[in-house]
A and B are shown apart, each in its own frame.
Chain A
Amino acid sequence: MDAAIRRVAGTIVGAPLTSRNRRELMYCGFGGIAGLAGFWITLVLLLSGLTISVSVIGTVVGLVLITTTLRVSRRLGSLHRRLLNRILGRQVEAPPPFQPGTGILNRVDRRLRDRPAWRAVWYALIKLPVSAAQLYAVVLTAFGLADLAYPAIWLLFRNHHGGTLTPLVAVVPVPFGGNIRVGSWLGAFPAALAGAACVVAAAWLARGINAADARLARGLLGPSSMAERVSELERTRALAVDDSAAALRRVERDLHDGAQMRLAALAMNLGMAREKLGDDDQAADSATVRELIDAAHRNAVDALADLRDLARGIHPPVLDNGLASALATLAASSAIPATVSASIGTRPAPAIETIAYFCAAELIANATKHSYANQIKINIHTERAGVLVLEVSDDGIGGADAAQGSGLSGLAQRVSTVDGRIDVSSPAGGPTMVTVELPLRA
């Protein structure tokens, strides 16, 4: 029994000496300052946005301020998540990235409905008392350490004779504490004791408040609640349905304008040729017949080519041999020299392979059309467990923008139907690097 009590007491008193305490206090410092700054930034932006948008003239400015608040709060949220992860090793998963719409109104609308951003705003506002407690823990530790050092300070700096001694003042920053006046070396020990108590108290305060902060962050900065997940799934399902309907329409259109049309022309040419041949007893106009059959032959060859292209567009047969060889084939037919490096551990699901393939095809086509690049690099790997990463980069002029309603936003839609994500880095002047992340299983 005694041993148990001694162990508990040892743990309590020994807490400040652990390396964990150092990290907790470090987080208190950084997290507290970030929280305090975040609170004021969010509050000022949001309040001015709200008040300005109440007045009729200021609606636009107000909306800009509010959307800015939401953007900033997402950034702040990711800063807090990073601090938690780096310093305390507490993982808080990121919420789904913001999906910009096309067109300014659509984009503003999406921003205002961006639930993860609104929750990050709540976090920033609620965090104020937490930040205060965190900074208090840091202050408490600092003063505690100073007080603890008083006997040593006394010996070093006050241990001389003669003259009057101004008493040292040890500050104990607790609500009902006061200052301890230290007039002698022995008198420094109560101050040291108070200091030790502060350091111990600060250690446990830091642990408690950080645990609360982590819980708050997990609730407000993490991935959305079940209901949000459901609405996200509904949205991406609608995209998937639209996407497949659009794909079918495209196939129909290609058939109508391609193979079907050529086969009709083929039938027409053969029909005319048969007419020219006439009945058995009539002499045939062989030159015209030959010409008509040549034309029919061309129609047949073209129709075959059309059908082959169409079939390849639906499912490239080369994909059956795996993504690596499919991408190699794709790279070989690229107008700009392209190299492929692939390291794929577990083979992704066929649907994922197909999406990755079409992403690569689209990105190569984009680079060919817009980048003026000399070299395209395609890298595909599964280094992170459960994630297929496709990177397509070029040394071109950059300036690709997913929000410009280009092929990139179509890709983003397609990728989001399987909970994948796409990241575009393309500063003006280049280089461009597009990263597509897909789960291995749809």
Chain B
Amino acid sequence: MRVVIAEDAALLREGLTRLLEDRGHAICAAVTDGDALLTAVAEHQPDVAVVDIRMPPTHTDEGLRAALALRQRFPGTGVLMFSQYIETSYSAQLLEGGAAGVGYLLKDRVANVAEFAAALQRVAEGGTALDPEVVSQLFRASRQRGGLATLTPRERQVLALMAEGRSNAGIAAELVVSGGAVEKHVASIFAKLGLPQDESDNRRVLAVLRYLGGKPQLQEG
């Protein structure tokens, strides 16, 4: 994988660089603000960009704005937003243009190096990686909606993993069950929630998020 990192804290920038290089990925550039990120991506055309949300000069949402610009100008580059906070409205904005090649993770997730690397890989390949925190926020917010109550505990687990962007195979590995069992759960969830069955993982993520109230508008294509 070829990666560009945008992170203003030197400690984390260097840590991420080392972590990814250790795993055999190439770090094309490691920059400290949004403008430099756009320049670096234009220059290196990487597979994925890891973007901190709060960066200079205002330390508010520079990273998010840079990420949205990246999505528009370089659709081929996956964007993984990487932050100490989860703001549901940020994930909704990021997902507005579709769920392909989008990720939003808490910085805490880097503690599990293998999972973090897998999530980054997924985003680089055009998949989705949403933090469990994003998903649980949406679950909490949508508790009053009747559909969720009809799901079995296992189905809820599967739904949460689907919303994070995992494929059926990924869910099967996480829950240590067979692929066939996952497929059965997924079919049952879609039937109970009245969602259209969809083969594509990304469209599936969007359907689930829309059901949960994350509000991303599905755009075809």
Which residues does A use to contact B, with CB under 8 Å? 253, 256-257, 260-262, 264-265, 267-272, 274-275, 299
Main secondary structure of the interface of A (DSSP, over half): helix
Instruction: Give the docked Cα–Cα distance between A265 and B116 (Å).
Output: 14
Contact at B114–A275, with CB atoms within 8 Å?
Answer: yes
Instruction: Give the docked Cα–Cα distance between A127 and B38 (Å).
Output: 71
B186 CB–A CB distance under 8 Å: no
Contact at A261–B113, with CB atoms within 8 Å?
Answer: no
**Binary contact readout B113-141 vs A (1 if CB under 8 angstroms, 0 otherwise):** 11010000000000000000000000000
Instruction: Give the docked Cα–Cα distance between A285 and B16 (Å).
Output: 20
- Known contacts A256-B54, A260-B107; 20 further A-B pairs (Cβ under 8 A): A257-B9, A260-B84, A261-B11, A261-B12, A262-B11, A264-B12, A265-B12, A267-B110, A268-B12, A268-B15, A268-B110, A268-B111, A268-B113, A269-B15, A272-B18, A272-B22, A275-B22, A275-B113, A275-B114, A299-B11
Residues facing A in B12-60 (CB within 8 A) are 12, 15-16, 18-19, 22, 54, 59
B108 CB–A CB distance under 8 Å: yes
Instruction: Give the docked Cα–Cα distance between A268 and B18 (Å).
Output: 10
Given known A271-B113, A272-B113, A275-B114, contact A265–B15 (CB-CB < 8 A): yes
Contact at B114–A268, with CB atoms within 8 Å?
Answer: no
Given known A256-B54, A260-B84, contact A270–B111 (CB-CB < 8 A): yes
A214 to chain B, nearest CB (A): 57
Q: List 26 A-B contacts (CB under 8 A).
A: A256-B54, A257-B9, A260-B84, A260-B107, A261-B9, A262-B11, A264-B12, A264-B84, A264-B107, A264-B108, A265-B12, A265-B15, A267-B111, A268-B16, A269-B15, A270-B111, A271-B19, A271-B111, A271-B113, A272-B18, A272-B19, A272-B22, A275-B22, A275-B113, A275-B114, A299-B11
B112 CB–A CB distance under 8 Å: yes
Instruction: Give the docked Cα–Cα distance between A270 and B112 (Å).
Output: 9
Chain B residue at minimal CB-CB distance from A260? B84
Instruction: Give the docked Cα–Cα distance between A272 and B19 (Å).
Output: 7
Instruction: Give the docked Cα–Cα distance between A253 and B84 (Å).
Output: 11
B118 to chain A, nearest CB (A): 13
Chain A residue at minimal CB-CB distance from B14? A265
B211 to chain A, nearest CB (A): 32
B205 to chain A, nearest CB (A): 26
A269: which B residues are within 8 A, CB to CB? Answer: 15
Given known A256-B84, A275-B114, contact A267–B12 (CB-CB < 8 A): no
Instruction: Give the docked Cα–Cα distance between A418 and B52 (Å).
Output: 41
Contact at A265–B18, with CB atoms within 8 Å?
Answer: no
Instruction: Give the docked Cα–Cα distance between A265 and B52 (Å).
Output: 14
B111: which A residues are within 8 A, CB to CB? Answer: 267-268, 270-271
Contact at A268–B19, with CB atoms within 8 Å?
Answer: yes
Instruction: Give the docked Cα–Cα distance between A267 and B105 (Å).
Output: 15
Instruction: Give the docked Cα–Cα distance between A271 and B118 (Å).
Output: 14
B19: which A residues are within 8 A, CB to CB? Answer: 268, 271-272
Instruction: Give the docked Cα–Cα distance between A299 and B111 (Å).
Output: 14
A265: which B residues are within 8 A, CB to CB? Answer: 11-12, 15
Most buried by B among A253, A262, A275: A275
Instruction: Give the docked Cα–Cα distance between A30 and B113 (Å).
Output: 85
A304 to chain B, nearest CB (A): 15
B22: which A residues are within 8 A, CB to CB? Answer: 272, 275
Given known A260-B84, A261-B9, A299-B11, contact A267–B108 (CB-CB < 8 A): yes
Instruction: Pick the 10 closest A-B CB pairs, nearest first.
Output: A267-B111, A271-B113, A264-B107, A265-B11, A271-B111, A268-B110, A268-B15, A261-B9, A275-B113, A260-B84
Most buried by B among A262, A265, A269, A274: A265
From A257, A260, A271, give the contact of B110 (CB < 8 A): A271
A257: which B residues are within 8 A, CB to CB? Answer: 9
A271: which B residues are within 8 A, CB to CB? Answer: 19, 110-113, 116
A275: which B residues are within 8 A, CB to CB? Answer: 22, 113-114
Chain B residue at minimal CB-CB distance from A263? B108
B112: which A residues are within 8 A, CB to CB? Answer: 271
Instruction: Give the docked Cα–Cα distance between A266 and B154 (Å).
Output: 33
Chain A residue at minimal CB-CB distance from B7? A261
A151 to chain B, nearest CB (A): 91
B6 to chain A, nearest CB (A): 15
Chain A residue at minimal CB-CB distance from B16? A268
Chain A residue at minimal CB-CB distance from B13? A265
B121 to chain A, nearest CB (A): 15
Residues facing A in B175-198 (CB within 8 A) are none
A256: which B residues are within 8 A, CB to CB? Answer: 54, 84
A298 to chain B, nearest CB (A): 10
A267: which B residues are within 8 A, CB to CB? Answer: 108, 110-111
Instruction: Give the docked Cα–Cα distance between A270 and B19 (Å).
Output: 11
Contact at A264–B59, with CB atoms within 8 Å?
Answer: no
Chain A residue at minimal CB-CB distance from B82? A264
Instruction: Give the docked Cα–Cα distance between A250 and B201 (Å).
Output: 42
Most buried by B among A262, A264, A275: A264
B103 to chain A, nearest CB (A): 17
Chain A residue at minimal CB-CB distance from B114? A275
B21 to chain A, nearest CB (A): 11
B59: which A residues are within 8 A, CB to CB? Answer: 253
Instruction: Give the docked Cα–Cα distance between A185 and B114 (Å).
Output: 125
